[in-house]
Structure 1
Amino acid sequence: MSTPVYSAHLGYMFTEYPLEERFAAAARAGFTHVEHPGPYALPAARVRELCAEHALTFVQMALPAGDPARGEKGLAALPGREEEFRASVSAGFDYAQAAGSHYVHVMSGVVADAAQRDTAWSTYTANLGIACEEAARRGMTLLVEPIGAATIANYFIDHPYTALRALEEIGAPNLKLLFDAFHATNAGVDANAFMAEHAARVAHVHIADHPGRHEPGTGAFDFTAFFSTLAQAGYRGAVGLEYIPAAETEAGLGWRRMFG
């Protein structure tokens, strides 16, 4: 089994440092790939400079997620917010291209009213289709990541099979799945079986141990089996480390020796 290429998630890892210093910290720790869902506090050109300076590939980021003070986690599925969503597409894609991001994650948003879910679905698919068209013009790939209720209450795309339904309904070749093994396990989905069947739909992977969402080796998830599944399925992307370090980030990186 070959060693996965790990991507340090700078929203969770190396948070002992200001954002601008996390790139150097990741490089010192041996990472060649990084990601961050919302790096907008730094100018995109600065992100590109930091990655070039430290020989890092900036793998993926997300579109602007809305108003954090209102608990917003994306705009794509929110009826009545279509103009804001389209503005976020333009701004997010401009930033991603300038920063050098390979993929852009489109967050669906929180829909608390169950009665609005049908309307939210039509809003979501229409918005996602528009974003795919714009991404295609720019040569970019969009990601959909299902995030379960245990992590974000009432998040609209809350299950891997809901995300697959969106991919199938839209049918855009540049729309792919960001598969998070932790979120899938939380939702009762067998991460190995899902990847074995649907790897062709997956462009990026996230991991964290379960339960706890800390480093591999702190919970019960079988990473040896999962990495073997990735290899057998022909997955060639990076594996994003979207976990919460149990202590300081560097102190918890010894787990990587378990897998080469």
Structure 2
Amino acid sequence: MRHRLPYTINLSMLLTELPLVERPAAARRLGFDAVEFWWPFATAVPADAEVEAFVRSVRDAGVRLTGLNFFAGDLPGGDRGLVSWPARAAEFRDGVDVAVAIGERLGCRAFNALYGNRADGVAPAAQDETAVANLTLAAEAVARVGGVALLEPLSGAPAYPLRTAADAVAVIDRVAAAAGGPHPLLLADLYHLAVNGEDPAGMIAAHADRVGHVQIADAPGRGAPGTGRLDLDGALVALENAGYTGRVGLEYQPAGPSADSLDWLPRERRAADHVG
């Protein structure tokens, strides 16, 4: 590995053999000092006891929460976010309040907002208008705790309209123009972008200054780095050279036990204090 960017492990994709509240401690035992999650609850507004258990699991493990998705609906059922879903705007906004409260307690400063699929019977323009309003609210809410909202292109979801970095940046620019204040940054998942035909070098040259977070998996297959054909290290070097200093989220599907799927990453490179 030529790049020197620090990592964070996505515990909604890795270590899922364990109950959710046991994963942060397991990540710490594997040498990581930072973790990220998709929304870790089944509803936008979970019970207080669920929130407390989650917060306690991260604190007690001695890891930092570096990323959290806003509530995105029923992901196994095909939902891909509520940002552009007019009928569920109130639900999304309620979930933002919960996410910000968790972020304030755990020091999380990056919050991913999945845009949402195109909905039957709703004009795309109406969805996009809802998205601008919701992203403005979310960006302003997380800014109050020193955070940033993120917007992510996805693959594998035909009804999801953001497929390239340019698609997401166009929405980000709309929010910036409409609000004149805090606005989202790009979550560049190098797997999703590559599967959608995006050239990493071109994306970095055009949009590196808009990148707020990076996630990786190899392609094809969405497996660990080295299991596919992507030059992930080269892309990360290019991002680092372009000024990106954030973490790299490990968001891939392990083949077998999660711990074994981390063999490609030396233990001394798993925590930020070992980078340099």
Q: Report the TM-score, using the length of structure 2 for normalisation.
A: 0.84
Determine helix, strand or coil for the equivalent of 2:263: helix
Determine helix, strand or coil for the equivalent of 1:214: coil
Q: How far off is 1:158 after superposition?
A: 3.0
Q: How far off is 1:258 after superposition?
A: 11
CA distance in 1, matches of 2:142, 2:68: 14
Identify the residue that residue 167 of structure 2 maps to in structure 1: 162
CA distance in 1, matches of 2:236, 2:93: 37
- In structure 2, relative to structure 1, the CA distance for the partners of 1:69 and 1:48 (3 Å cut) is closer
Give unmatched runs, 5+ long, in structure 1: none
Determine helix, strand or coil for the equivalent of 1:80: helix
Letter in 1 for 2:14: M
Identify the residue that residue 57 of structure 2 maps to in structure 1: 50
Q: How far off is 1:115 after superposition?
A: 6.6
Letter in 1 for 2:28: A
- In structure 2, relative to structure 1, the CA distance for the partners of 1:52 and 1:68 (3 Å cut) is closer
Identify the residue that residue 8 of structure 1 maps to in structure 2: 9
State how 1:63-142 maps to structure 2 within 5 Å: 63-67=70-74, 71-113=78-120, 116-142=123-149
Asked whether the 8 Å contact 1:48–1:100 carries over to 2, the reply is no
Identify the residue that residue 196 of structure 2 maps to in structure 1: 187
CA distance in 1, matches of 2:141, 2:211: 20
Q: How far off is 1:120 after superposition?
A: 1.1
- In structure 2, relative to structure 1, the CA distance for the partners of 1:187 and 1:50 (3 Å cut) is same
Deviates more, 1:156-165 or 1:217-226: 156-165
Letter in 2 for 1:98: R
Deviates more, 1:158-167 or 1:79-88: 79-88
CA distance in 2, matches of 1:80, 1:48: 30
List 4+ stretches of structure 1 deviating above 6 A.
Answer: none
Deviates more, 1:64-73 or 1:198-207: 64-73
Taking only the aligned residue pairs, the percentage that are identical comes to 34
Q: How far off is 1:12 after superposition?
A: 0.7
Determine helix, strand or coil for the equivalent of 1:61: strand
**Aligned with residue 146 of structure 1, among 150, 153, 161:** 153
Asked whether the 8 Å contact 1:176–1:202 carries over to 2, the reply is yes
Q: How far off is 1:45 after superposition?
A: 3.8
Asked whether the 8 Å contact 1:147–1:183 carries over to 2, the reply is yes
- In structure 2, relative to structure 1, the CA distance for the partners of 1:254 and 1:195 (3 Å cut) is same
- Please give the per-residue CA displacement for 1:142-192, whole angstroms capped at 9, x wherever unaligned: 1111112x2x23123333211100111111445211110000001111112
Determine helix, strand or coil for the equivalent of 1:162: helix
Asked whether the 8 Å contact 1:38–1:61 carries over to 2, the reply is yes
- Please give the per-residue CA displacement for 1:113-154, whole angstroms capped at 9, x wherever unaligned: 497222211111122112222333343211111112x2x231
CA distance in 2, matches of 1:227, 1:72: 30
Give unmatched runs, 5+ long, in structure 2: 43-48, 270-276
Q: CA RMSD in A?
A: 2.4
- In structure 2, relative to structure 1, the CA distance for the partners of 1:101 and 1:113 (3 Å cut) is same
Q: How far off is 1:248 after superposition?
A: 0.9
- In structure 2, relative to structure 1, the CA distance for the partners of 1:83 and 1:223 (3 Å cut) is closer
Q: Report the TM-score, using the length of structure 1 for normalisation.
A: 0.89
Letter in 1 for 2:210: R
Deviates more, 1:206-215 or 1:249-258: 249-258
More contact order relative to length (CA 8 Å, sep ≥ 6) = 2
- In structure 2, relative to structure 1, the CA distance for the partners of 1:69 and 1:35 (3 Å cut) is closer
